[in-house]
């Protein structure tokens, strides 16, 4: 039985970890922390988690909880995560960090985009970017997983084979992404209130969104050269889901069918990635509540452009599901454990 | 390994059976029928069911599929179900009928409300109304389960202890129910198109909804006398979920806390029914995608009225989840198998 | 040109006043107040109000703004409204109060339900309950209008003819009401955030909602005797709209057609009330963005119950539209001015 | 009093024409046609249009209705519109065609994309593309207006100043557009049913959408050379609204502030186009139900790309509102008549 602690368990990613792990028979949740909700029951905030009626939020007292768990899921806000991750990692624990604090390998880039210092460069060097489809072997060896951001997961998985195969001009990549509202987290904010989001649609964070350098880091590593991208996120009036529509000039003349065939070769052994047939495109609804990824492809012969569309559930494959996938890998359990549920449709 | 056939698998309840059963390791789906979609893959209609890439809809040829399965889930339209249920039942199969055809024990009542004859009165006598919380023992003995309607499930579970304990005047029951749109099924109909439903809210079928006699039959059986109810369904702009708000005059002076305590006594051993504490009320969102039921209670001392609110997911506890629960019971499997997933929230 | 001040203009009812009055050619907005947003432009909060690019929120300095306007719309929170209303009224201004402070004629009832003292009983005696369909003549004579609550508007208009004609037993009234989310106002509150409201449905404030005594006061006045009601509000995942489904035992045997005919007699001269034909029921979507009311009726002969369904837009007929209607009446302008727009559908 | 006929009045654009024209005091609707709904009242289909209780759909008998109207709005499906437009135009009527039949000046392009012959090339030569912000002077002189498509309206208005000023490389344009569901029209189609659209998000018609050549035609005319674009539409779970996010490589080094200043110069005299300040971006919700356009701009200095975001209501500025704007222009009425309503928010 793996003992699990969730640090920062009062947000949506924390709650989603609890939901997913409720189907994981090899796991026991021993601790859930929250500063704001300390003393409250998990079920006070999340009645749907009634199986955890015994769990009470406690403040994050690192020493106090150190020996309660083998695996620490860190679902703290950015910056707040740095020190706690460092602590548990150095104490020899397995740490899966859902914040952005250990995703960017260059602290200067982190500091530029997150406007806060990174004080744990040494620990950072031990972190592995937890996208199993690309880094599975390194994840297996690691005790510190930087769980990818939601937008980066959708974008990188969509672009990976095309870049790797030299199909597209990496200078020309445009990522037009759309996310359900849970991506903003659980918070009291007029901008995310029902009446402001519903029946609306808007772009936000144009040019400035913090997932930009994370995507660039990973795409650059795939390409073997520095890449800068255009990334525009949008807010969709739905709870969950990301659709990422990506455009890049083609370097070779390749037909849609062939691109699909290349992608299938890359992903057919992957348990969570479905490359769709020609003429079929992803829908956020098809992956809602699940750890699956849909990828659709189309060549625009008129403009010599490849259009890639990917879909994930931002809270599952884009956060907590991928975190559990990473846990399964580092603990040597079957990778798909507790993650096989199909999407809830409709 | 239980072999399962789904007759009428191209609608939402059929798809939901497939979704739920994908997590049931003791079950193998051998056949899915659909007249309209015969020849198509299940995944053509429902890409989220990608685990069933091998399943192709076939026409319902009773003889052809008779020996392919031990359990037959019938998700056919009303009236269309009668004969097929009769056939498989008489051939000794276990039959779980999700239509209304075997719910009403009195064929005259069926014919009055459904405007079509019932030609299988003999088989009807063998049907058990599949609400496990009330009829579990009879279900265990039966091979023909009439799976309850979605509104009746929410209403009956909400009213059962109050009627049984003589707390309320059964002449005064008002059931004001609200359902997500999937309750209408999967169909091309302007009235259920996105733009007509979204940002709207309306009552429909006032006085005339066919779930009325089903609720009355079951409440009458509980009360030991004939009951007539007011039942008004409403359409909610959401995919899934039923909230039933019920009102009845109280026969006794009982405080809210005591009513809750009575309900907890009735339902504490039930794996799927959660009676909420005072001041907490059900939310359709808390049960979405799950087989759970929430019940909230409040006494209005100013008017001497008991207000009962219940919530279910109409496609799960209100249809396919309950059907699987019934299958587990009649097959002697652990009743909660494949049904323990918590709600997908948000 | 009528000069108009809006006190408390940073919420949805304030914004809706501005939207409606933008089509009122006899009106000039001279002042909009807000404590929190003082110094900001109206268009900073509400870009859709771009015609008011010149308007800047200012703090509510009563002396300062007294001479700027002839009519004062008060869209302040409950309790906060009391003193300001008293001030402008005593200075001889026309005051239309959208808060609840001057709706309940009995200060004891106000204090019981709003848990705050009422310090202006003398001014209160001058207030007229601003439901034109019932109190038009008194409104004409008044300078202080207590603009009705949203739920009360829907409920009272739906029940008025039935009570007046003695069709129903006033002891048996049940009001099951459902409101869009804008009814909760514009605020930072997790409970009204998109992800908590969307795809959910719930009852709230059961037995305790503050619109209860307001409805009871008006229905009692119609009936000529004290009435207590059951009132249960619910939150609907939509922006705007109230549907009120009401039930009452019938005192007489009357058919649906006759009840409809009675209602048409009551409302046919009313510019904003549409009584629907038999078999047609209201939809919140049919009145969205408009000042219109839909009323549908059905007799349940099986239970001898009258079912009344009414629909309004909570921000228009349930708040700001009705306030403008009242302004038109007290200023002697054509009552429908700026209120004739049809609903935005879909 | 202008007499107006609406041919094809049972869809959303027809209903929206009626809604908008209900506020146009110089207009009388004399005829509304529909083949499918002939004999029905307009209010049977659209209860919100209760002011038109006298209007009954009639079949489109061209001779019969010829003399009933001065202006003919044609809201027929593509191809079906060709002949009727030709007929009324040749009889000397003013015709505003909301279909695509007279938008593409090259019949070969029309036939390639719409897969149907164009039999009225001579009449087509008289058609003016009805985008007043660009073609106002020609519209004034014309009797046959090809009312622009919804996506083209949003895209062309967003790109016009940038192309005209030579700021962007016209070879590099990417238009990633997102539309509310009413853009698909009013129809019985499972793909547009509530449960399939809600809580989903998807791209469709990638590379193949018929608005592509329309956008290309107009952008080419602005640029003075042939342009091919990437255009990807997406379906948003909301009723109304289009957001178009556009990307193009910059030919000059220009800062965001300067681009905004150029756009303001182009559009400041335009009554319906609002260019937003730096850091503020359009939201479909801000224009819902109105004829207004929002445009936001941002230069990505890291990639030397201009990002343009535009928002319209697809049924108003993207269809019926623009059609009324065109009618006002050709009839010499004030252009903004009946179109000044602000958006319904929230």
Chain region(s) in chain B for CATH 3.40.50.720: 2-126
Q: Do B245 and C203 touch (CB under 8 A)?
A: yes
Predicted local distance difference test score (pLDDT) of residue D286: 98
**At C47, is the pLDDT very low, low, confident or very high (cuts 50, 70, 90)?**
very high
Q: Mind telling me how many Å the CA of B239 is from chain A's nearest CA?
A: 6
DSSP helix/strand/coil, D297: strand
The residue from B4, B5, B131, B150 that is catalytic is B150
Least Cα separation, residue D109 to chain C (angstroms) = 33
Quote the CA–CA distance of B102 and D291 in Å, as a whole number: 55
Both tokens of residue C335?
């009552």
The per-residue pLDDT for C226 is 97
Chains that touch C (3 or more CB pairs under 8 A): A, B, D
Q: Which CATH superfamily is domain A2-126 in?
A: NAD(P)-binding Rossmann-like Domain (3.40.50.720)
Mean pLDDT value of segment C43-67: 97
Which residues on chain B are in Cβ contact (under 8 Å) with C284? Answer: 199-202
- Do residues C320 and C182 make contact, with C-beta atoms less than 8 angstroms apart? no
Query: How do strand C293-300 and strand C273-275 relate by DSSP bridges?
Result: parallel
The arithmetic mean of pLDDT across residues C288-305, rounded, is 98
- Residue C41: its pLDDT value, please? 98
**What ipTM was predicted for this assembly?**
0.97
Mean pLDDT within D297-306: 98
Q: State pLDDT tens for residues D140-187.
A: 999 999 999 999 999 999 999 999 999 999 999 999 999 999 999 999
Section D204-213 average pLDDT: 97
Mean pLDDT of D308-336: 98
Task: Write the CB contacts of C240 (distance below 8 Å, at least 6 apart in sequence).
Answer: B199, C180, C182, C284, C288, C289, C313, C314, C315, C316, D346
Chain centroid offset of residue D125 CA: 20
Question: Per-residue confidence at D216, pLDDT binned at 50, 70, 90?
Answer: very high
pLDDT tens string A149-194: 999 999 999 999 999 999 999 999 999 999 999 999 999 999 999 9
Instruction: State whether A193 and C182 contact (CB < 8 Å).
Output: no
**Distance of residue C101 Cα from the nearest chain D Cα, in angstroms:** 25
pLDDT along chain B (346 residues), means of 10: 97 98 97 97 98 97 97 95 98 98 98 97 98 98 98 98 98 98 96 98 97 98 98 98 98 96 98 98 98 98 98 98 98 98 98
Check residue D77 and give its pLDDT: 93
Tokens 């309306």 correspond to what residue? B202
Output the 3-class SS for chain D: CEEEEEECCCCHHHHHHHHHHCCCCCEEEEEEECCCCCCCEHHHHCHHHHHHCCCECECCCHHHHHCCCCEEEECCCCCHHHHHHHHHHHCCCEEEECCCCCCCCCHHHHHHHHCCCCCCHHHHCCCEECCHHHHHHHHHHCCEEECCCHHHHHHHHHHHHHHHCCCECHHHCEEEEEECHHHHCCCCCHHHEHHHHCCCCEECCCCCCCHHHHHHHHHHHHHCCCCCCEEEEEECCCCCCEEEEEEEEECCCCCHHHHHHHHHHHHCCCCCEEECCCCCCCEHHHCCCCCCEEEEEEEECCCCEEEEEEEECCCHHHHHHHHHHHHHHHCCCCCCCCCCCCCCCC
Which residues, in sequence order, are bridge partners of residue C202? B283, C235
Sign of CA dihedral C284, C287, C290, C292: negative
Band of the pLDDT at C102, cuts 50, 70, 90? very high
Within 8 A of A240 by CB-CB distance, chain B residues are: 346
Q: Starting from the edge strand earliest in sequence, which strands make up the sheet with A27-33, in order?
A: A27-33, A2-7, A71-74, A94-97, A144-146, A128-129
The pLDDT assigned to B335 comes to: 98
Q: Which two tokens stand for residue D237?
A: 């779970």
From D82's Cα to the closest Cα of chain C, the distance in A is: 28
Q: What is the pLDDT of residue C45?
A: 97
Report the pLDDT averaged over residues C132-137: 98
Tokens of A189: 């904010």
Cβ distance C281 to B307 less than 8 Å, yes or no, reads no
Rama region for D179: left / alpha / beta (φ>0; ψ in -120 to 50; rest): beta
CB pairs under 8 A between A and C: 61
Mean pLDDT of chain D: 98
Interatomic CA distance for residues A6 and A103, integer angstroms? 19
In total, the C-beta contacts within 8 angstroms joining chain A to chain D are: 153
CA atoms within 13 A on the CB side of D333: 16
Nearest chain C CA: its distance from A305 CA (Å): 36
**Where exactly does CATH 3.30.360.10 map onto chain D?**
151-314
Distance (Å, whole) CA C161 – CA C266: 7
Q: State the Cα–Cα distance between residues A184 and C198, nearest whole angstrom.
A: 15
Q: Please answer whether residues B280 and B260 qualify as being in contact, where contact means their C-beta atoms are separated by less than 8 angstroms.
A: no
Cβ–Cβ gap D194/B198 under 8 Å: yes
Other Cβ atoms less than 10 A from the Cβ of D281: the count is: 24
Identify whether the C-beta of residue B288 lies closer than 8 Å to the C-beta of residue B345: yes
Beta bridge partners of C33: C7, C58
Q: Give contacts of B12 with chain A, Cβ < 8 Å.
A: 346
Specify whether the CB–CB gap between D32 and D9 falls below 8 A. yes
Are C196 and B346 within 8 A, CB to CB?
A: yes
Unique residue bearing structure tokens 């919140």: C284
H or E element that contains B223 = helix B211-223
Nearest Cα neighbor of D167 from D244, D260, D229, D232 is D260
Using CB atoms, pick whichever of D181, D187, D197 lies closest to residue B190. D187
DSSP characters over C14-46: HHHHHHHHTT-TTEEEEEEE-STTTTSBHHHH-
Enclosing H/E stretch for B158: helix B150-164
- Cβ–Cβ < 8 Å for A30, A6: no
Against chain B, the chains showing at least 3 CB pairs within 8 Å are A, C, D
Please, are residues C58 and C33 in contact by the beta-carbon 8 Å criterion?
Answer: yes
Residues of chain A with pLDDT under 70: none
Question: With left for phi above 0 and alpha for psi between -120 and 50, is residue A223 left, alpha or beta?
Answer: alpha
Quick one: pLDDT band at residue C101, thresholds 50, 70, 90?
A: very high
DSSP secondary structure of C221-264: HHHTS----EEEEEE-SSSS-EEEEEEEEBSS---HHHHHHHHH
According to the model, what pLDDT value does residue B194 have? 98
Q: Which CATH number fits domain D151-314: 3.40.50.720, 3.30.360.10, 3.40.50.12500, 3.40.50.300?
A: 3.30.360.10
Q: To the nearest whole percent, how much of chain C has pLDDT over 70?
A: 100
Residue with tokens 């006929």: D5
Q: What tokens appear for B130 in the block?
A: 């599949």
Radius of gyration of chain A (CA): 20
Q: Residues of A117-138 as b/e, b for ≥16 C-beta within 10 angstroms?
A: ebebeebbeebbbbbbbbbbee
Taking contacts as CB-CB distances below 8 angstroms, the residues of chain A near C239 are 194-195, 198-199
Residue A195 appears among annotated catalytic residues: no
Give the span between the Cα atoms of B336 and B325, in whole angstroms: 7
Nearest CA in chain C to A236: C194
In this structure, what token pair is assigned to residue B204? 């429909």
Q: Using DSSP, how many helices (H) and how many strands (E) does chain A show?
A: 12, 13
Contact residues on chain C for A199, CB-CB shorter than 8 A:
239
- Chain D contact set for A234 (CB, 8 A): 178, 243, 245
Confidence of residue C258 (pLDDT cuts 50, 70, 90): very high
Chain C residues whose C-beta is within 8 A of a chain A C-beta are 12, 181-182, 186-190, 192-199, 237-239
Burial C109-140 (b: 16+ CB within 10 A, else e): ebeebbeeebebeebbeebbbbbbbbbbeebe
Instruction: Name the one residue in this structure whose structure tokens are 């998700």.
Output: B75
Sign of the alpha-carbon dihedral angle for A136, A138, A142, A148: negative
Nearest to A124 by CA among A114, A18, A20, A9: A114
Nearest chain C residue to A185 by CA: give it: C195
Nearest alpha-carbon partner for B205 in B162, B247, B175: B175
Q: Which residues pair with B71 in a beta bridge?
A: B4, B94
Taking the CB of residue B171, how many other CB atoms lie within 10 A of it?
Answer: 13
């Amino acid at each position: 039985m793996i003992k699990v602690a969730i640090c920062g368990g009062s947000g949506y990613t924390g709650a989603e970890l609890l939901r997913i792990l409720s189907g994981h028979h090899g796991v026991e949740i021993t601790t859930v922390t929250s500063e704001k909700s300390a003393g409250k029951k998990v079920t006070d905030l999340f009645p749907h988690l009634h199986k955890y009626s015994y769990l009470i939020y406690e403040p994050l007292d690192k020493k106090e909880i150190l020996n309660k768990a083998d695996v620490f899921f860190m679902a703290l806000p950015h910056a707040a995560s740095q020190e706690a991750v460092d602590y548990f990692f150095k104490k020899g624990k397995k740490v899966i960090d859902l914040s952005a604090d250990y995703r960017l390998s260059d602290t200067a880039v982190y500091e530029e985009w997150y406007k806060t210092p990174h004080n744990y460069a040494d620990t950072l060097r031990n972190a592995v970017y937890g996208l199993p489809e690309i880094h599975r072997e390194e994840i297996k060896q690691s005790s510190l997983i930087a769980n990818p951001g939601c937008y980066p997961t959708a974008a990188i998985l969509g672009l990976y084979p095309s870049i790797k195969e030299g199909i597209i001009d990496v200078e020309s990549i445009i990522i037009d992404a759309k996310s359900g509202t849970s991506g903003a987290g659980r918070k009291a904010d007029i901008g995310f209130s029902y009446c402001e989001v519903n029946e609306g649609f808007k772009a936000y964070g144009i040019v400035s969104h913090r997932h930009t350098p994370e995507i660039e880091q990973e795409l650059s590593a795939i390409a073997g050269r520095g890449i800068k991208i255009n990334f525009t996120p949008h807010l969709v009036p739905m709870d969950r889901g990301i659709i990422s529509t990506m455009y890049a000039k083609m370097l070779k003349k390749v037909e849609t069918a062939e691109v699909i065939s290349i992608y299938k070769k890359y992903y057919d052994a992957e348990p969570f990635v479905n490359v769709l047939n020609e003429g079929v495109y992803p829908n956020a609804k098809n992956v809602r509540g699940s750890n699956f990824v849909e990828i659709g492809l189309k060549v625009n012969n008129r403009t010599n452009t490849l259009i890639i569309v990917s879909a994930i559930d931002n809270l599952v494959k884009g956060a907590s599901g991928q975190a559990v996938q990473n846990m399964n890998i580092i603990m040597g359990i079957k990778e798909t454990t507790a993650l096989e549920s199909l999407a809830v449709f409709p």
